[in-house]
Structure 1
Amino acid sequence: MSNNRFRLWLPLIFSLVMILGMFFGYKMREKMPVGAKFFSTEKKGTVQEVLDLISNRYVDPIKTDTLADAAIQEMLTHLDPHSIFIPAEDLQQVNEDLAGKFEGIGIEFNIFNDTINVLSVLKGGPSEQAGLQVGDKFLKIGDSAVVGKKIDGDMVRQLLRGLRGSKIKVIVLRANEKKEYSITRGIIPLFSLDAAYMIAPSTGYIRLNKFSETTYEEFMEAMQKLKEQDVQKMILDLRGNGGGILQEAVEIADEFLDDNKLIVYTQGDHVNKQEFRAKREGIFEKGKLVVLIDEGSASASEVLTGALQDWDRAEVVGRRSFGKGLVQEQYNLTDGSALRLTIARYYTPLGRSIQKPYDQGLENYNDELLDRYHKGGLMNADSNRNDKGQAYQTPDGKKVYGGGGITPDVFVAIDTAGITDKIARLYTKNTIGNFVYNYYVDNISQFKLFTDPASFEKGFDVDDKVWNALTDFAKKDSIPLNELSPSDKSFLRQRLKSLFARQQWRNEGFYEVNNVKDPIVKKALEELNK
């Protein structure tokens, strides 16, 4: 009987012994010196061990967070060029750019001679509702006096931005008169669509600068307006568009492709193959379409272009695209930072991977575009071609190639006018930006006579008065303009006109005026009219 009772109590006794053993073991562990361990509940990696030792034993005080960030950055250099670590202080701006919005007051500003000047005011935004105008100069933001002090753009943004619904009081100088405003912050859009208008009879034009969470919505609103104007042919401008959210590019491709056509598929060692297909009736499945690309078109831009080229849906005009065929996923980390890690490659409908090689190191990868320039890749079609990779054939029998970007169907060389040293200095010193703003503010009544970019393009000339004013302004920055070549003068006059239009109508005005002389746009119109 006693043996049976002992067997019944035996499991409970073992449990109590184990619990007591673990308790005393942890107590003993807490009293042991740093380097001594009898056991550990988890195994730390070498990097973490080194950081712990530095934190606990190093001779001088040191911020281990900085060391950890540097260690992560170094690790990522051994992967691909697009796996990146985003420090906590930079993450908000990165996320805002992808979200396509932020919380603030809705102005563009620049700092001239230690004074914050209002360059433009968002139509319908908080600042316009409060009464701010182009040309206002900030004297005080909240409790901070800002005039005549060394201040940079990041500091200004920190002062002006804040939670939606919060208020900020500002004092500005307007025509030598102080004015005080109370501005209620709101949601400010970061538009990914620069321009959308009828560029020629029955021909629409849309330019996208990125693919954010709002891009497809912006695109559809623009297309609806163009459809109301009976658009029959389209130019989609993706030059300089570095990509963004893949799904947004897929949604736009779906508006051009019919049936159940494959748009793109992704695949990686730890990610199963995923196909993205057209799934609905698109807004522009019929009608001629031209896509504009250049060496700055990357990632999601190449997904969209590749799908339309593979299905013979669009003619691609411009120069070879960047060549980024890797898909990143963002993982938020516990300290507020994030890791954007490459998890897959994407492939066009024909199976093309257009990622350019990166096995020669990050420096060579980053210098590849410069190599294109030096080797004539931006100047002539033969040097711009990418026909060394695997060849594929479209349904209409056209040959296309994988690796190293997307080669356009029609090549247009880069315009070398306007890239001389003197004109470059106008930009690096921001001389041209300062001049355009100051001349516009001083002559705002003249500019306000024009009601839209089209009337401005036809009715405004950069005459001798404007040119002489620029020449005098540039002299202050030691940039003589009296020896420019005729082609450089012509380029600069056209650029000034476009920048004045931007000053009044933001990016929409700039592109509507600049496109009139843009060689790639002119070639696209020729192709559409064939």
Structure 2
Amino acid sequence: MNKKIQVWLPLLFSLTMIVGMIFGYQMRDNMPGKRFFSLDKSTPLQEVMDLIKSRYVDDVKVNALGDTAIMAMLSKLDPHSVFIPKEELQGVNEDLAGKFFGIGIEFNIFDDTINVINVLPDGPSFIAGLQAGDKFIKVDDSLVAGQKITSERVRKLLRGDMGTKVVITVLRNNTKKVFTVNRDAIPIVSIDAGYMLGGGIGYIKINKFSQSTYREFMQTLEKLQAQGLKELVLDLRGNPGGILDEATEIADEFLDGDKLITYTEGKNFPKKEYRCKRQGLFEKGSLVVLMDEGSASASEVLSGALQDWDRATIIGRRSFGKGLVQEQYDLSDGSALRLTVARYYTPIGRSIQRSYTNGGKAYYDEISNRFHDGEVFSADSVKNDTSKLYKTMGGKKVYGGGGITPDFFIPIDTGNYSLSATKIYLSGTIGDFAYKYYLQNLQQLSAYKTPAQFVKGFSFSEADWNAFGALAAKDSINLNAIPAKEKSEMQLRLKASIARQIWRSEGFYEVYNTEDNALKKAVEELLK
């Protein structure tokens, strides 16, 4: 018996090893990680990189060459497959995570000095005692005043690991003060504003879809419902998208039953359906969604589902037209690849993705061409792909292959600004003036307890306008001859920017929205 075992033993070992290798490769291919390794022989690309490294006449940064090669490869795919260098990855991940670790201030640099513009309520700097108007002298041992410091350098000095300390020396009312601030998690909010417009109508503006968006949205929706919310305006203008799951979770709050919200599918990505799975908080009230050419990706998933099920009225302009799904894969050197793996489709099967067959430049130029071709000014100029005609569940005609076309078109009203007005909006002068005005008029402004009171009670005087004109003149901008309409628009922006100093982004939108044509149309539709 022992002799028979000895004869068969090598074969048994071989079979066991082969079975083990098969299972090992299968397990590797199905591992739920984000890194992929290959045992294949070197590719020509790797061989060229190795030859450059070992044989080239001069010293070269091989890693930078590799990054360039990767970007060149991706440029042959689609416009949304991108390589993220190591030094940029943290910022990208923080934006999606909806938080970073820092001290909780907004700052700007005036006259080569870091000025505290706003302090996050109950944040680390608020607790330490920093105030709007403080001017930074030192961060730890680094002198920062008068050093031609950049915003990027400031962020690197102020951010760090949670719980670590940073000592900040500031100038306040000509007195030097020192504060020790404990770094903590600082939210990157995705809800810019959520307030009642009156008559049971609420307004919520979402600026992106991060990991915290659904939670923020639910908190805002519940707050408005406690104030008597019956109908809602959801503002997705300028929202570039983000995390798909967050958009589908919000869609679930508007749609009943087990309705299909979207589905994704790709060559190496099996079909995946996203369906409603619970009773939503706002399944019955009337709903309007505001969109424009800056609304993309997850914004289009959400609005496309609501349009297909005839759940919402879409108002604004044709959306961006991004219907591709990306997954992010971490690479060995700390960089990452965000690769398109699937397309998403609306409930009735529409792909929102615009054509990119003419390359990335033509793809992105299409947005600016909407201005040149008049599409953003006239509904008659909208270029829908009529070969991709669909019908919603209620029988309304809609289109695929080019974004979401609104039910009601609202032209852009900022396309014919004078040169002086354009310079003002690009220069940052409005924000600078609002900050200085806020510091100089704290007592007057403290009388307004809410943005609504500020809207009704505050007016921009001629003396204020002249002071603003003098500040603009320092940047070689002459406001003496701008048209009355542009002056009125600029004064509204100034008023809203002052409100931002007091109540942050919600204050800005509650003031600025008072003259918003798309919002006025939304309210008109809801009151029918």
TM-score category (smaller protein): over 0.9
Aligned to 2:65, which of 61, 64, 67?
Answer: 67
Are residues 1:455 and 2:453 paired? Answer: yes
- Aligned pair count reads 499
Residues 98, 211 of structure 1: 8 Å contact kept: yes
Q: How does 1:5-44 map to 2 (within 5 A)?
A: 43-44=41-42
Following superposition, the deviation at residue 288 of structure 1 comes to 0.5
Residues 297, 323 of structure 2: 8 Å contact kept: yes
Following superposition, the deviation at residue 418 of structure 1 comes to 7.2
Residues 99, 213 of structure 1: 8 Å contact kept: yes
- Counterparts of 2:485 and 2:85, CA distance in 1: 45
- Structure-2 change in CA distance of 1:9 and 1:137 (3 Å): same
Residue number in structure 1 paired with 2:166 = 168
Aligned to 1:84, which of 82, 85, 90?
Answer: 82
Residues 192, 212 of structure 1: 8 Å contact kept: yes
Structure 1 counterpart of 2:300, one-letter code: E
Aligned to 1:488, which of 486, 489, 497?
Answer: 486
Residues 214, 246 of structure 2: 8 Å contact kept: yes
Residue number in structure 2 paired with 1:93 = 91
Structure 1, unmatched stretches of 5+, are 16-40
Q: Which moved more, 1:401-410 or 1:377-386?
A: 377-386
- Counterparts of 1:203 and 1:431, CA distance in 2: 34
Residues 389, 403 of structure 1: 8 Å contact kept: no
Structure 2 counterpart of 1:76, one-letter code: L
Residues 418, 491 of structure 1: 8 Å contact kept: no
Following superposition, the deviation at residue 11 of structure 1 comes to 6.9
- Counterparts of 1:274 and 1:121, CA distance in 2: 43
- Counterparts of 1:193 and 1:444, CA distance in 2: 27
Deviations 1:332-374 (A, max 9, x none): 0000000000000000001000101110111111111111111
Are residues 1:262 and 2:242 paired? Answer: no
Deviations 1:31-54 (A, max 9, x none): xxxxxxxxxx85101111111111
Are residues 1:184 and 2:214 paired? Answer: no
- Counterparts of 1:406 and 1:8, CA distance in 2: 72
Following superposition, the deviation at residue 395 of structure 1 comes to 2.2
- Counterparts of 1:465 and 1:451, CA distance in 2: 24
Q: How does 1:426-437 map to 2 (within 5 A)?
A: 426-437=424-435
- Counterparts of 1:417 and 1:475, CA distance in 2: 23
- Counterparts of 2:183 and 2:269, CA distance in 1: 42
Aligned to 2:103, which of 102, 105, 118?
Answer: 105
Residue number in structure 2 paired with 1:362 = 360
Q: How does 1:187-198 map to 2 (within 5 A)?
A: 187-198=185-196
Structure 2 counterpart of 1:331, one-letter code: Y
Following superposition, the deviation at residue 201 of structure 1 comes to 1.6
Q: How does 1:482-521 map to 2 (within 5 A)?
A: 482-521=480-519
Following superposition, the deviation at residue 8 of structure 1 comes to 6.9
- Counterparts of 1:385 and 1:198, CA distance in 2: 35
- Counterparts of 1:245 and 1:8, CA distance in 2: 60
Following superposition, the deviation at residue 209 of structure 1 comes to 0.1
Residue number in structure 2 paired with 1:206 = 204
Q: Give the secondary structure class of the aligned counterpart of 2:121.
A: coil
- Counterparts of 1:140 and 1:252, CA distance in 2: 44
Deviations 1:20-70 (A, max 9, x none): xxxxxxxxxxxxxxxxxxxxx851011111111111111211111000000
- Structure-2 change in CA distance of 1:82 and 1:476 (3 Å): same
Q: Give the secondary structure class of the aligned counterpart of 1:154.
A: helix
Structure 2 counterpart of 1:382, one-letter code: D
Higher radius of gyration, 1 or 2: 1
Q: Which moved more, 1:50-59 or 1:88-97?
A: 50-59
- Counterparts of 1:389 and 1:152, CA distance in 2: 50
Structure 1 counterpart of 2:217, one-letter code: F
Residues 104, 123 of structure 2: 8 Å contact kept: yes
Residue number in structure 1 paired with 2:440 = 442
- Counterparts of 1:497 and 1:213, CA distance in 2: 32
Residues 196, 224 of structure 2: 8 Å contact kept: yes
Following superposition, the deviation at residue 178 of structure 1 comes to 0.7
Residue number in structure 2 paired with 1:29 = none
Q: Give the secondary structure class of the aligned counterpart of 2:264.
A: strand
- Structure-2 change in CA distance of 1:507 and 1:11 (3 Å): closer
Following superposition, the deviation at residue 444 of structure 1 comes to 2.0
- Structure-2 change in CA distance of 1:45 and 1:387 (3 Å): closer
Residues 418, 482 of structure 2: 8 Å contact kept: no
Structure 1 counterpart of 2:476, one-letter code: S
Are residues 1:241 and 2:239 paired? Answer: yes
Q: Give the secondary structure class of the aligned counterpart of 1:171.
A: strand
- Counterparts of 2:448 and 2:230, CA distance in 1: 29
Residue number in structure 2 paired with 1:38 = none
Residues 322, 403 of structure 2: 8 Å contact kept: yes
Residues 417, 491 of structure 1: 8 Å contact kept: no
Structure 2 counterpart of 1:362, one-letter code: G
Residue number in structure 1 paired with 2:153 = 155
Residues 332, 339 of structure 1: 8 Å contact kept: yes
Deviations 1:57-114 (A, max 9, x none): 1121111100000000000100000000000000000000000000000000011111
Residues 108, 116 of structure 2: 8 Å contact kept: yes
Q: Give the secondary structure class of the aligned counterpart of 1:484.
A: coil
Q: Give the secondary structure class of the aligned counterpart of 2:515.
A: coil
Following superposition, the deviation at residue 427 of structure 1 comes to 2.8
Q: Give the secondary structure class of the aligned counterpart of 1:336.
A: coil
Residues 238, 301 of structure 1: 8 Å contact kept: yes
Residues 385, 402 of structure 2: 8 Å contact kept: no
Q: Which moved more, 1:426-435 or 1:348-357?
A: 426-435
- Counterparts of 2:9 and 2:199, CA distance in 1: 93
Q: Give the secondary structure class of the aligned counterpart of 2:325.
A: strand
Structure 2, unmatched stretches of 5+, are 15-38
- Structure-2 change in CA distance of 1:43 and 1:448 (3 Å): same
Percent identity over paired residues: 58
Residue number in structure 2 paired with 1:227 = 225
Structure 2 counterpart of 1:327, one-letter code: V
Residues 251, 302 of structure 2: 8 Å contact kept: yes
Structure 2 counterpart of 1:255, one-letter code: E
Following superposition, the deviation at residue 462 of structure 1 comes to 1.0
- Counterparts of 1:209 and 1:366, CA distance in 2: 20
Residue number in structure 2 paired with 1:22 = none
Residues 265, 344 of structure 2: 8 Å contact kept: yes
Deviations 1:415-443 (A, max 9, x none): 13773221121133222222221222122
Deviations 1:455-485 (A, max 9, x none): 0111101111210110111111110100000
Q: Give the secondary structure class of the aligned counterpart of 1:110.
A: strand
Q: Give the secondary structure class of the aligned counterpart of 1:265.
A: strand
Q: Give the secondary structure class of the aligned counterpart of 1:61.
A: coil
Residues 314, 408 of structure 2: 8 Å contact kept: yes
- Counterparts of 1:99 and 1:440, CA distance in 2: 32
- Counterparts of 2:227 and 2:10, CA distance in 1: 84
- Structure-2 change in CA distance of 1:8 and 1:385 (3 Å): closer
Residue number in structure 2 paired with 1:301 = 299
Residues 238, 292 of structure 1: 8 Å contact kept: yes
Following superposition, the deviation at residue 384 of structure 1 comes to 2.2
Residues 320, 385 of structure 1: 8 Å contact kept: no
RMSD: 1.7
TM-score of the two chains, using structure 2 as the length reference: 0.92
Structure 2 counterpart of 1:427, one-letter code: Y
Residue number in structure 1 paired with 2:22 = none
Q: Which moved more, 1:240-249 or 1:493-502?
A: 493-502
- Counterparts of 2:475 and 2:200, CA distance in 1: 46
